[in-house]
Amino acid sequence: MLFSSKLIRSLCKPQAPTPTPTLLRFLKTLPTAHGEAASGRKKDDYFAVVHHVSNIVRRDFYMERTLNKLPLTLTSDLVLRVLRSCSRCPDESLRFFNWARSVPHHAHYYSPTSIEFEELVKILATSKNPDSVTKILHQMKDAHLSVSPNTLCSILESYGRQGLADQAVEVFNKCKFFNCEQTVEVYNSLLFALCEIKMFHGAYALIRRMIRKGVSPNKRTYSVLVNGWCSSGKMREAQEFLEEMSRKGYNPPVRGRDLLIEGLLNAGYLESAKEMVRKMTKEGFVPDVETFNSLLESICKSGEVESCIDIFRTACSLGLCPDINTYKILIPAVSKGGTIEEAVRLLHNCIDDGHKPFPSLYASIIKGMCRKGQFDDALCFFSDMKVRGHPPNRPVYTMLITMCGRGGRYVEAANYLVEMTEFGMVPISRCFDMVVDGLKNCGKHDLAKKIEQLEVSLRGD
């Protein structure tokens, strides 16, 4: 809901009487021209103004006319926050920025910094309007402001997603003109843009230029091109590229086959990635743990839990050291698949490896036991969780109470409800309702009354 112009006037003149006290009692002032808020004012006042101006920019057809009626004191921070709030409205953001620069405020004009310029450039780059981006970049040049490499990377990658390869190359070639260094990240962003439109011959030429200019490729350089080849189904070309770079003395920071596996996974070729891992394990090699985790996650999402466990065991026997993320992927998937014994074994391995399990790992196993009707085992496992020094959090308690209620274990659910409150955690209303109704239905009226009194004492009703 948009506030009236009278509201904004009251924000800029805090000593004036407010016309609507109920609406304006929290909104009292704007920052001064130097960007400092009046002492003692709340931050909520300032963000309410940002929200109001952003709504005008996004929704008002006659934006400039409405903004002219507001006695705003524009600052760099205010303009930046409005631009970020309107990041999905590139045309309106440009209109607001131009208005802010053209309207005098207290006998002076707002002068944007490089931060606001770059935010606007990133917004405009997402729309298919490269002319506006180029115009803003030239305005930065005229204002003697430099373009940061991060901003240039954002422009190049946005152009690549939109298929504007020529415009991406043009911006890249003007890096020196815009006082921006051609770092390896900038090269990688242009490489990404070229691979997005399958212009691999241009990507090869760019890598040769990198080497000629003395810029050493990093992991993303290799992964971007390998991902591009794999997404096009050209495995042979990807392998030849890695071999060629190796012959030239530019070995990737990770092994080439790991990059190929990640490229296949990103392209959706799960079976090909699994086959490559099988060949590696037969030769006595395993991927690095990051690549292996990506493979496990893809296999688990496909529902092949048993295959996932087999690959995990084979890799561990060959010396793979799983990290906490490996167990974070495996344990929930195995528990959901119903192989509770294997999930418990994985959790114990996780603890033996020196990792402290997340409460969610315990929760997935407990939930799996409850689904199979093994409530006694689930409650014992929950007790073991606390004995091991891994205190359950509010979501774990909520899940356990819910599962006990679904299984008709209302007394146990009530006990955990009380235990939860003793640890300073407030149960959600749904848990109270479920436990109270269940206790009444099974004849435990006294206990149900105590749970109701507990809820009233917690809610303060």
Q: What is the pLDDT of residue 11?
A: 36
Q: What angle (nearest 5°) sits at the alpha carbon of residue 212, between those of residues 207 and 217?
A: 45
Contact 212, 252 (CB under 8 A): no
User: Residue 309 corresponds to which amino acid?
Assistant: I
3-class secondary structure, 425: coil
The pLDDT score that the predictor gives to residue 35 is: 42
Token pair for residue 399?
């899940």
Q: Give the span between the Cα atoms of 164 and 120, in whole angstroms.
A: 19
Q: 105 - beta bridge partners?
A: 108
Which pTM value belongs to this model?
0.61
Phi and psi (nearest 5°) for 6? -60, -35
Token pair of 230 as six digits: 């794999």
Structural contact between residues 407 and 375, judged by C-beta atoms closer than 8 angstroms: yes
Closest CA to 182 of 196, 200, 169, 194: 169
Among the residues of 143-255, which ranges form H helices?
A: 149-161, 165-173, 184-196, 200-212, 219-231, 235-247
Query: Measured between alpha carbons, how far is 204 from 208 in angstroms, rounded to an integer?
Result: 6
Paired tokens of 411: 């007394």
Q: Is the dihedral of CA 312, 317, 320, 323 positive or negative?
A: positive
What type of residue is 396? Answer: V
List CB contacts of 169: < 8 A, sequence separation 6 or more.
Answer: 190, 202
Predicted pLDDT at 108 = 64
Is the Cβ–Cβ distance between 110 and 74 less than 8 Å? yes
Spatial CB neighbours of 253, under 8 Å, sequence gap ≥ 6: 218, 219
- The rounded distance, in Å, linking the Cα atoms of 186 and 192 is 10
Q: Residue-wise pLDDT tens for the chain (461 aa)?
A: 344 444 334 334 333 333 333 333 333 334 443 444 344 456 778 888 899 999 999 999 999 999 988 888 888 999 999 999 999 999 999 999 999 988 776 556 788 999 999 999 999 999 888 899 999 999 999 999 999 999 999 999 999 999 998 999 999 999 989 889 999 999 999 999 998 888 888 888 898 898 888 888 887 888 888 888 777 777 777 777 777 777 766 666 556 677 778 787 877 888 888 887 888 888 787 888 888 888 888 888 888 888 888 888 888 888 888 899 999 999 999 998 888 899 999 999 898 888 888 888 889 999 999 988 888 999 998 998 888 878 889 999 999 999 999 999 999 999 999 998 898 888 888 989 999 999 999 888 899 899 888 888 887 65
